Chain A
């Protein structure tokens, strides 16, 4: 198992945020993590990435507890794309991506061609090669998000975790980012908001009130009754032979 989550519980000032969350993610599997706001997705992801202390339970990455990793070693194993990360500094697109090489560089190590190659490949993969020299502030939100994903790719890890990477993006850019995610050859755990986006993944894990309530193939899990139960909305699934199936929300 690449990611193993076992009995994770988390309390904030006495209030339970996560209770007994357990699941696995297999190597090279693409898993969507879903759930309404406040269901504990972000908190869980932060614990998997070693950004928040684990209060109870265990997270294993490649069969090793996340707390046993040195920070740098962890960054060579897992990369994390935050919901939105911004800077006011005037940097170029390239600079943001090259940060991904940090865990592979010693304090005074030279920036070799190999590092450059990783960065260039990542920029091409997200379709930002032409804009590599452009200033960060001049890029659109979608382009910035693609660069964050490129940073994670340049980090060259076997696991990539993303927290709602399509948030704040317009529809077109959401689809660009989504098709990008489909091409990534790593173990992927992605928090997803949109029901239809989840259909693109191998498996979906749904959380509600800090617990895992369902997991399985998206088309089998995301059925109208279940959507009504967890998200409190009416929906129907449209299966058309010409187009991929689609979840329509009924007002």
Chain B
């Protein structure tokens, strides 16, 4: 049973809605305010207002730049990634009826890494293509490979592709990881290998307004598509035959949702690398708190994921002074103990 039942009066829901907006606003503010360079909170707020509303408060150009172009963009992208990964994990877990499904189940991170090393190490694209672009193409190719394998393995008459998707995803991931390892072993030096490893664990440095302009619309479209199918996702509670018998066009919903989540994951991974743990754990936290209705779970997972990743990014920038940790390390270090607590509490209920 959910910890926070939502069947209550309207004001409970309105309160939760307001609370979540406040939570996001606070997370964004803290994400911007905390960093290696110490900037007073008042200056941070002024710089943000300058940027947001074109005001003209007196803030030194350096502080303005750090707050507006560096920290704010980074925090927004962190929030978008957190939300997108959490929703992707939620959708795949519900759709495939597998508690261990995560955004990288479909071979996307493996494909992205292959694409990235193709560009940076093997020199594909002759310096014209960016690593992000290579990663995006790699992710989409790997995803296409996995889906084709799953469809061929399922056969023409089956209405459900879920179990084949999981197996095809494993095969695809192994293949593309092996390709990555092959390219690194063949031609990378130690420095390049270390760089790739860091990128794979997640890296938000270098994120600017261009990335925001990509991450925000992709997240909005993805969330809209997933929300539209929220009721259909509820119907998968007892498996895909049960969903079909209450009127859900199973195959179409699977195609649309897997496609939408793959798009979100591929875009996020190509910008910031394969940040782990968020997509696996946040949906479980959301279910623990709010129960199993997807029209609630989807926004809840998005908000929890966004806030969690913003907090982890603050940690990544500040835990070691003078050095930025890969954010994937922080998500697991903070997330694993939190998850353990939930597991234990959940089993005691």
Contact = CB atoms under 8 A, between A and B. Distances in A.
Interface of A: 49-53, 70-76, 79-80, 82, 85-92, 95-96, 99-100, 102-103, 105, 107-108, 135, 151, 155
Contact of A51 (B2, B238, B241): B241
A100 B243 CA distance: 10
B238 A86 contact: yes
B229 interface: yes
Contacts of B291: 90-91, 95
B84 to A, nearest CB: 20
Given A82-B242, A87-B237, A52 B157 contact: yes
A107 B159 contact: no
Interface string B230-270: 11101101110110111111100000000000000000000
Nearest to A104: B247
29 contacts: A49-B245, A51-B159, A51-B244, A52-B157, A71-B248, A71-B250, A72-B249, A73-B247, A75-B245, A75-B246, A79-B246, A85-B239, A88-B99, A89-B237, A89-B292, A90-B2, A90-B292, A91-B292, A95-B237, A95-B291, A96-B238, A99-B238, A99-B242, A100-B246, A102-B247, A107-B227, A107-B231, A107-B232, A108-B295
A8 B156 CA distance: 19
B247 A80 contact: no
B128 to A, nearest CB: 43
A23 B247 CA distance: 25
Contact of A99 (B228, B237, B250): B237
Contact of B292 (A52, A75, A95, A107): A95
Contacts of B2: 90
A164 to B, nearest CB: 14
A238 B246 CA distance: 41
Contacts of A89: 237, 287, 292
B1 interface: yes
Nearest to A71: B249
Contacts of A102: 231-232, 234-235, 246-248
A53 B156 CA distance: 9
Nearest to B229: A107
A91 B291 CA distance: 7
